[in-house]
Amino acid sequence: MISDHALCGVYAAAVTPLKPDATLDSEALPEFLGFLAGRGCHGALLLGTTGEGPSFSSAERMEILQAAMGVRQQYPNFRILAGTGTPSLEETASLTQAAFDLGVDGVMVLPPYYFKKVSDDGLFEWFRQVIIRAVPHGGYLLAYHIPPVTGVPISIELLARLKDAFPEQFAGLKDSSGDPEHARKLGQVFRKELLVLNGNDRLFSLALQNQASGCITALANLASPLLRQVWNQTNLDEQDDEAQTRLNAARDVLEAFPPAAAFVKEILPRQHHFPKWGVRRPLLPLSQALVEQAVERWMQLSYV
């Protein structure tokens, strides 16, 4: 059985609906989150990597989160996680507190990613200050381990220190390292004491077999029924190799046409009739030639 933590489950790293002028399409956001809820997602992460979080100002982030809360009119139990990490301790604490004030279920926080080779002591103090100042009792903080992007890994030792210091408020991490050995080690060290949400669809079954509690992925915008199928079968102590194989193939297509936000925003209107949403600079939309290739390869995956 998978952990019974309040945040376990399948989450989409949701794209952010943007109008042609790159401003927020606030009316589209609750509708899109409802679509994800109806396709098996327990919740969504707003303002993560796929949601282009670092491209939005603090005020825009709050506007996005406030709009997202509209999904609960139809899906009251749909969980919302907010990406609130920035290199600034002050800004991160402020965003985190404001997100909880709006009613999010948890926050996902990048390490301060400008300064490289910082010590675990420095990172511990930075996260400690965020939690003390901004995470209420009953709220949860997840660290975002994505060293290929941030250049600042979150070590096993740092995770243990944070969990010991804040056993309730520090829930765990999103593991986007893409490293199968790291997924295994997290399970060996922490068992089910740490909430681990996997960030790479290819490793989903492996992570669940090593005590992970769910996932947060870009692919869940398009293929959440497959992810939910793997999660459900694992909850029954069964393994669904066929569904995992299909996830691997879908992930291959996603990764062939970066960035993920632009790819997802090309597929959604063609497969599910959403508007064509743009991406914010520095990201660019896919070229027309790449769009044609991406759509052709995706549509060959008849099971998504």
Identified catalytic residue from 49, 92, 150, 217: 49
Residue 75 falls in the annotated catalytic set: no
- Half-sphere exposure of residue 219: CA atoms within 13 angstroms, side-chain side: 28
Residue 144 falls in the annotated catalytic set: yes
Residue 185 falls in the annotated catalytic set: no
270 by DSSP, 3-state: which?
helix
Identified catalytic residue from 84, 174, 234, 265: 174
- Cβ atoms of 133 and 93 within 8 Å: the answer is yes
- Half-sphere exposure of residue 15: CA atoms within 13 angstroms, side-chain side: 33
- Cβ atoms of 145 and 117 within 8 Å: the answer is no
For the chain, report the end-to-end CA distance as a whole number of angstroms: 26
Task: Report the candidate in 118, 226, 97, 98 with the shortest Cα–Cα distance to residue 169.
Answer: 97
The Cα-based distances of 19 to 26, 55, 104, 245, 304 in angstroms read: 9, 15, 24, 35, 26
Residues 4 and 263: their CA atoms lie apart, in Å, by 33
Residue 140 falls in the annotated catalytic set: no
Map tokens 């989409």 to a residue: 12
Identified catalytic residue from 114, 245, 276, 303: 114
Identified catalytic residue from 11, 113, 140, 144: 144
Residues 60 and 84: their CA atoms lie apart, in Å, by 12
Active site positions, annotated: 49, 114, 144, 174
